[in-house]
């Protein structure tokens, strides 16, 4: 792919933009015209914390290409903190961390661009970054120019050491808008990702200055375990002490209250993906990945790509789930049913949930989530699924069902293992979809079976959806309005 993108940073930037983002008309609400579908990529922090370097970056970048992640849309590589020396130069300019990056950040950025990847940088809207390196508060214009000079394409902007400039939406908006203006003044396209943990309700103000904003404290590799460091419960969507170490179910609870704040070019960010880091089961990782995609959170992997299991690789490359993430409608699912169950886990958490949302071309997505401690049959009427109103027209339609985790949709573990060990080129792998060759929008318009899912029957209007859902597991369908007048089953 290096020859396709060329070695010129200026030329490559235009090609990157065309491949990563769907082009839209003037009616787009994106503040900078970018991120018409949620961002996808890879970040150093979850797997390496601050202990990463040039070799770490290039090893994982190569895997993004060779394992086909780049051509699925995972394109940005984010250097998460510790990019610089601990002090600025005499004139206030940032200095690249020479010990970590002996070839220089400019050289590494050029290599990423030659791979067809984006260069993602990091800072904090404070005096220091979270790792204690120079922050950008008061240096916005100077730092933005420095990143632009190296060909950076993406900024993750944190909230540590903010000098007390928070506590009201206006204080936070001013601080983050200063960097937004600085990035725009460089003349270079920057996807701008706010990481202020939901502090001061960014979903109320960030869409006019940024492409995404975090809504909660930092994620941990856990399905439902509570921690004292994440003090607010899952239904406290506005938490004045967001903290860190928040579980998947905790973050989902917060997201359920603010899903309507998404729009083309701005997304509620549920934090990075933990798939592949080993703290959750296969079914729990399926829940995590499915729900992040359906809510339209950015999908930023945070794992060691050279140590993926076949199961985790198959999750992250599932084309039917990624097609929901990258659907042109960018509409997030909402939670329509929540019920407590008796079989709670060791942490005292146990409930079942139903989530539903609209997709392009009139399709719908429905998810049954079992956060109970045992496998169970979940059964809900279309009326319940679509919000409890019998007058809802979608509840009265007949739908063909497509299982986005069906056997004919997901890459098998055997095939995934062959790709991972290098005995099978990813382009020849059954279950792989190349979104660089055929965009998600085009593939959906063509009803590509890999993007639609495995056929799973039909449900009549007013009927009932039913599925056996494993412990801490999910059943997710794409619904497509049934055609013809053939016999239909009213219960599945």
pLDDT digits (tens, 9 = 90+) for 167-180: 999 999 999 999 99
% the chain with pLDDT above 70: 92
| Cα dihedral sign, 162-131-49-119 | positive
Find the helix or strand (DSSP H, E) in which 142 lies. Answer: helix 140-149
Quote the tokens at residue 471. 């412990």
* Per-residue pLDDT at 490 exceeds 90: no
At 378-415, the pLDDT tens digits run 999 999 999 988 888 999 999 999 999 999 999 999 99
- End-to-end CA gap in the chain: 45
Place of tokens 């279950």: 431
What's the confidence (pLDDT) of residue 2? Answer: 33
What are the angstrom distances between the C-alpha of 439 and each of 9, 22, 37, 435?
A: 23, 9, 12, 5
296, 267 contact by CB (below 8 A): yes
Q: Which residues of 206-235 are buried (b: 16+ CB within 10 A; e: fewer)?
A: bbebbbbbbbbbbbbbbbbbbbeebbbebe
Domains and CATH numbers, the chain: 40-331 (3.20.20.70), 335-434+444-481 (2.60.40.1180)
C-alpha closest to that of 302 among 148, 292, 294, 12: 292
CA dist., res. 369 & res. 292, Å (int):
13
* pLDDT at res. 262: 82
**What is the Cα–Cα distance from 469 to 475, expressed in whole angstroms?**
6
Q: CA separation (Å) from 227 to 220, 281, 379?
A: 10, 19, 32
131: number of Cβ within 10 Å: 17
Q: How confident is the model at residue 4, as a pLDDT?
A: 29
- Kindly state the average pLDDT of the residues 353-358: 97
Nearest CA to 283 out of 371, 216, 358, 195 is that of: 371
The region of weakest confidence among 21-30, 193-202, 372-381 is: 21-30
Residues 9-64 have pLDDT tens digits of: 333 443 344 334 333 333 468 899 999 999 999 999 999 999 999 999 999 999 99
How is residue 297 written in tokens?
């959170």
Give per-residue pLDDT as tens, 249-262: 999 999 998 877 78
Phi, psi for residue 283 in degrees, rounded to 5? -65, -40
Contacts of 131 (CB under 8 A, 6+ apart): 50, 81, 82
**If you average pLDDT over residues 338-359, what whole number do you get?**
95
Residues known to be catalytic: 158, 218
Report pLDDT for 28.
63
């Amino acid at each position: 792919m290096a020859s396709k993108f060329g070695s010129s940073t200026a030329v490559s930037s235009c090609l990157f933009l065309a491949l990563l983002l769907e082009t839209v008309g003037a009616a787009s609400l994106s503040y900078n015209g970018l991120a018409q579908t949620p961002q996808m990529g890879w970040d150093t922090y979850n797997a390496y914390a601050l202990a990463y370097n040039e070799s770490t970056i290039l090893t994982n970048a190569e895997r993004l290409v060779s394992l086909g992640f780049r051509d699925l849309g995972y394109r940005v590589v984010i250097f998460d903190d510790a990019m610089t020396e601990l002090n600025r130069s005499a004139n206030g300019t940032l200095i690249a961390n020479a010990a970590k990056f002996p070839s220089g950040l400019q050289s590494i950025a050029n290599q990423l661009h030659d791979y067809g990847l984006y260069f993602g940088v990091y800072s904090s809207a404070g005096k220091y970054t979270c790792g204690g390196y120079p922050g950008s508060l008061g240096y916005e214009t100077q730092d933005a120019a420095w990143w632009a000079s190296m060909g950076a394409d993406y900024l993750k902007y944190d909230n540590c050491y903010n000098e007390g400039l928070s506590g009201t939406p206006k204080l936070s908006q001013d601080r983050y808008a200063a960097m937004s203006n600085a990035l725009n003044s460089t003349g270079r396209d920057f996807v701008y990702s706010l990481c202020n943990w939901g502090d001061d309700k960014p979903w109320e103000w960030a869409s006019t200055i940024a492409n995404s904003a975090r809504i909660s404290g930092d994620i941990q590799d856990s399905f439902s375990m509570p921690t004292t460091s994440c003090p607010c419960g899952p239904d406290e969507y506005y938490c004045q002490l967001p903290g860190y170490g928040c579980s998947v179910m905790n973050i989902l609870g917060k997201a359920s209250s603010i899903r309507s704040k998404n729009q083309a070019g701005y997304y509620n960010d549920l934090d990075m993906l933990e798939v592949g880091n080993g703290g959750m089961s296969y079914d729990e990782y399926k829940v995590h990945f499915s729900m992040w995609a359906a809510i339209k959170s950015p999908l930023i992997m945070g794992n060691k790509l050279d140590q993926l299991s076949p199961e985790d690789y198959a999750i992250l490359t599932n084309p039917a789930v990624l097609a929901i993430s990258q659907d042109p409608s960018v509409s997030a699912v909402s939670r329509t049913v929540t019920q407590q169950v008796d079989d709670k886990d060791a942490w005292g958490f146990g409930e079942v949930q139903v989530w539903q949302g609209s997709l392009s071309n009139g399709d719908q997505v429905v998810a049954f989530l079992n956060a109970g401690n045992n496998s169970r049959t979940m059964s809900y009427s279309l009326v319940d699924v679509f919000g409890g109103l019998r007058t809802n027209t979608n509840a009265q339609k007949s739908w063909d069902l497509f299982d986005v985790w069906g056997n004919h949709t997901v890459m098998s573990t055997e095939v995934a293992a062959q790709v991972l060990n290098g005995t099978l080129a990813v382009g020849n792998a059954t279950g792989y979809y190349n979104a660089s060759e055929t965009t998600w929008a085009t593939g959906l318009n063509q009803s590509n079976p890999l993007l639609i899912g495995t056929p799973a029957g039909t449900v009549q209007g007013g009927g009932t959806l039913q599925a056996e859902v494993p412990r801490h597991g999910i059943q997710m369908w794409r619904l497509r309005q049934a055609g013809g007048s053939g016999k239909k089953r009213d219960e599945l």
